[in-house]
Amino acid sequence: MTTTYDNDESIQQRSAPPEKRQSSGPDAFVIGRPQTENGRISNAQQSQRHASAGVYNPASEEEHNKALLEHLSSDLGNLLNRVDISDCYLNVRGTYMAVHKCILAARSNAFAAVISGNFNRLPNDEREQLETMTHKDKLVININKAVPEIMKQVIVFMYTGRCELDDSNCYALLDAAGRYDIKDLKVHTGRFLSSRINTTNVLMLLRAAYKYDNKLIKQCCIQYFIRNAKEIMDIHELWKKFAEEQREIVAELLHWHVNSDLFYKDKPHWDAVSQW
């Protein structure tokens, strides 16, 4: 079965899950940086960048190893939006991002399942939200759950280990880290949010932590609940709704509240597993 873009270029459908018709081809991208003609960085530019960074004259072994990792991050970042050598497109609500299947598969268990065709490894709701097709022999993954700006930061993080994380996008990035099972991003967002837990967001964070098995956020929220249970439960409407919808989580919270000595006794184990 085939479907067609508006420019009549043939799109061949993959077997699962079902596709949605697209209104335009991948000709406008949101990810990338200015590069030389044809999207390439010249050898001279590469050599100059490495030389100026001092990679060949490290002051210490530790600084040398740090420089190598920084250059690896930078070089992988230069692959972003390289349409000429990409083998996959992400279509995020009509915004296209040129990426590489090997990077997605290495960094995200969810994308690894999609790329390998093992959709049965994904929860049912996730299978429906990650539709696939091909365009000019390249895999296209349609993503309708995330907004382009958030997905841009997710992709930048998968390539470079860095992203713009702040109070305005931390919850969306936490959700994306869990939804696409990106372990490093789970820890990164978890560390950011662990110092920002309060009575109004702790239940929301607990819901996300249990849904996506974010151990760091889970541990920090339980610890916060042990110390502030009365204040949290005094927000009656919020607590009542949470208690009705998340009975298993509430049972565990009350267990640890009553047995806080056991929680703190096991805390070293929690700390170890929460860092992956």
Kindly report, residue by residue over 136-180, the tens digit of the pLDDT: 889 999 998 889 999 999 999 999 999 999 999 999 999 999 999
Query: Where does residue 51 rank: exposed (0-12), middle (13-18), buried (19+ CB within 10 A)?
Result: exposed
Q: Do 208 and 214 form a contact (C-beta atoms < 8 A)?
A: yes
What pTM does this model have?
A: 0.73
Q: Regarding the domain delimited by 2-33+82-148, which CATH topology (the fold level of the hierarchy) does it fall under?
A: Potassium Channel Kv1.1; Chain A (3.30.710)
Q: What angle do CA 145, 19, 126 make, to 5 degrees?
A: 40
**CA 142 from centroid of its chain's CA atoms:** 16
> What are the residue ranges spanned by the domains of the chain?
2-33+82-148, 42-77, 165-274
The closest alpha carbon to 80, from 138, 119, 135, 41, belongs to 41
Q: Average pLDDT of 235-260?
A: 95
240: tokens are: 């009542």
Polymer length in residues for the chain: 276
Distance, CA of 216 to CA of 220 (rounded, Å): 6
Residues forming beta bridges with residue 97, ordered by sequence position? 90
134 — pLDDT class (breaks 50, 70, 90): confident
